[in-house]
Structures are given as structure tokens and as C-alpha cells.
Amino acid sequence: RTREMQQSLPPYEVLPTDVTMEELSRSTTVMLEEPPQPPPPRDHLVWSLFTTIYGNFCCLGLLAFVFSVKSRDRKMLGDHSGALSYGSTAKYLNITALVINIIIVVIVVTVVA
């Protein structure tokens, strides 16, 4: 049983004869893992840019773009809750502008046809 235990242990280096224990460094390295960070909040900047350019009904796209930029600024400053709040506002403004633009396109196509 002891022979099996000795074989499972990792090999160790033999201390050279000209080195004493006092001459060896006595340091220990401890690796600490950081806890997993939550994903950064989304700022929807690209979506807001396209909404501003292609479907800026009642300036909703421009407002969404402003809130997206504010969200990105807050994210860079490390304000997670502020970035999340501005990002969700930008998302809802983009959704509203998209729905209104779809309704306008359907009405125009219906009237023309």
C-alpha cells in the first residue's frame, strides 16, 4: 500500500549539496481568481444610429441616439446601473420608432395599392 502511495506522489527535485535550506527563497505564490463579472450593459448605439438615419419619426431616433451615448459614457465611467438605465431607455425609444415606422409603411403601401 505504501509503495502505491509513493508512486502517486509527484517527483521532487533533490537539493544540491552546495546549497543549504537557509539560502533558498521562502516565498509562496497564491493565485486569486476574481469573481465573474456581469456582462456590460448594452448601449444599442448602432441600432440608435440606424433609427436616427432611416426612421427618425418625431425625433425618436435622435433621442435614442442621445440616450445610447449617455449609456456608453456611463459604462466607461463604471456606473453599471446608470448605463443599464440609459441603455434600456434607448432600447424602448428604438422599439417605439420601429413600430411607428412599420405602421407608416403599411399605411402608405395600403393607400398606394
Within 10 A of 19 (CB to CB), how many other CB atoms are there? 9
Question: What is the rounded average pLDDT of the residues 41-68?
Answer: 91
Evaluate whether residue 40 is within a structural domain.
Answer: no
The pTM (predicted TM-score) of the whole model is: 0.66
Evaluate whether residue 53 is within a structural domain.
Answer: no
Evaluate whether residue 64 is within a structural domain.
Answer: no
Q: Which domain holds residue 104?
A: 87-112
Average pLDDT, the chain: 84
The whole-number pLDDT of residue 11 equals 67
- Answer whether residue 47 shows pLDDT above 80: yes
Question: What is the rounded average pLDDT of the residues 42-56?
Answer: 90
pLDDT band at 9 (very low <50, low <70, confident <90, very high): low
68: amino acid identity, one letter: S
Evaluate whether residue 107 is within a structural domain.
Answer: yes
pLDDT, tens digit, 9 for 90 and up, residues 71-105:
999 999 989 999 999 999 999 999 999 999 999 99
